[in-house]
Structure formats: structure tokens, C-alpha cells
Amino acid sequence: MNLPPLVQTFVLHFGEMGSRWGINRTVGQIYALLFISKEPLNAEDIVERLGVSRSNVSMGLKELQAWNLVRLQHKPGDRRDYFSTPDDIWQIVRTLVEERKKREIDPTMTLLREVLMQEPASAEERHAQERMREMHDLFELLTGWYADVQRLDTERLVQLLTLGSKVQKILEMKDRLFVVPGSKKSRRDDPKDK
């Protein structure tokens, strides 16, 4: 591995972290390297810096492209493919969340919906379905929130995150100011309330 020490620490760390995230070490390292590079890199650059085989880099880049995590671009008069990550780190977060949702949440929701359609054949199955219903509703709430928040532009998203639970205070204030007392509790208690 042929990298400045400071960069190497970072790259090695993301290589190790990769395995916790369902991507392999090399893919993690390639991504980390592209992330901290000022200029886009071609495959041969990556081979030299990480000290892995050309074919390994090729497969790693293919996987990163499947995740939409890298951009492919070209330099004038140079046939090689150059890769980079978006400059905007929030764009990276959005892509990551979107792709993980697509791979993990969506198939799980499909399965849950299928299983919940079936008729339970025993008390055991009935209870199992109840639990799956809870999980289904939870995922629905979370993905609904995500779909909503994802549409915000970054400035507003940051504003929202910075506030954190202080939003709560504002909600309480809103309630005190605007909600008709009698209707307040029932509206708030139903998670499906839009």
C-alpha cells in the first residue's frame, strides 16, 4: 500500500468497516480512497495505491457503481475511466440511505406483506403474524418519514437535524395555540394519522 500515513489510516479503517456493511475490504478501501482524493482516479492509480490486483479493482469499482456511490468520468484525450465520489457529502448520504432501503427494507416489506395476506393455521401463526404486523407498521412509519425528509433541500434538512427534539417544544406550542382541545389526544395517538 502506497499512501501518505494519514490517508492510509483512513483507508484501512474503511476497509475494516466495510465488512460490517456488507461490502468487502477492497471495496471499502477503494471508496475511502476516492472519497479523500482531490482528483478522480483511474483503475491503475488505485492498483498502485492500494496494492491489490487489477481485476480486484475492476470488480470493486463495478460494485461501487451498482451502489451508485461513484461517478464515472473521462479526461480529454484519455481513454481510461476515471472515478470519483460526489463533492457534496449530503448527496453521498442520500445515495447510501436510498440504496440500503432498496436492498434491505423494500424486500423485507414485500415479504411481510405476502406473509400477512396468508391465513394463520394456528395460534402460534396468529401470534407470529401480529409481530410481523408490528414490524411492517414500524417500517412503514420509518420509510414514510424518510420519503418526506428526503425531499427537503439540504439547507432545510440540516436545519431540522440541528433542532433535534427542540422541534418538540415548537409542536407543543403549536398545540397550545391552534388545536381544538377536544380533538387533540385522538389525533396525536394514531400513528397512521396523516
Instruction: Considering only residues 24 through 63, tell me which ones interact with DNA, judged by CB under 7 A.
Output: 24-27, 42-44, 52-56, 58-62
Site for a second copy in 50-89 (CB under 8 A): 89
Answer with the entry of DNA, a second copy, none that 75 interacts with (C-beta below 5 to 8 A by kind). Answer: none
Residue 7 within binding range of a second copy, rule CB under 8 A: yes
Q: Which residues of 36-69 are buried (b: 16+ CB within 10 A; e: fewer)?
A: ebeebbbbebbbebbebeeebbeebbebbeebeb
Q: Which stretch binds DNA (CB under 7 A): 17-25, 87-95, 111-119, 128-136?
A: 17-25
185 binds, among DNA, a second copy, none (CB under 5 to 8 A by kind): none
Among 9, 19, 150, 168, binds DNA (CB under 7 A): 19
For a second copy, give the closer residue by CB, 78 or 190: 190
Residue type present at position 152: L
Binding status of residue 13 toward DNA by CB under 7 A: no
User: Residue 85 or 129: which CB sits closer to DNA?
Assistant: 85
Nearer to DNA, 72 or 173 (CB): 72
Q: Under rule CB under 8 A, which residues in 88-107 are in contact with a second copy?
A: 89-90, 93, 103-104, 107
Strands (E), 28-143: 41-42, 71-73, 82-84
How far apart CA 170 and CA 180 sit, in angstroms, is 17
Q: Say if residues 116 and 82 touch (Cβ distance below 8 Å).
A: no
CB 112 within 8 A of CB 128: no
Question: Please, what is the Cα angle at 176 between 174 and 179, to 5 degrees?
Answer: 75
Cell numbers representing residue 43 in the block: 483503475
Give the binding site for DNA (CB under 7 A).
19, 24-27, 42-44, 52-56, 58-62, 78-81
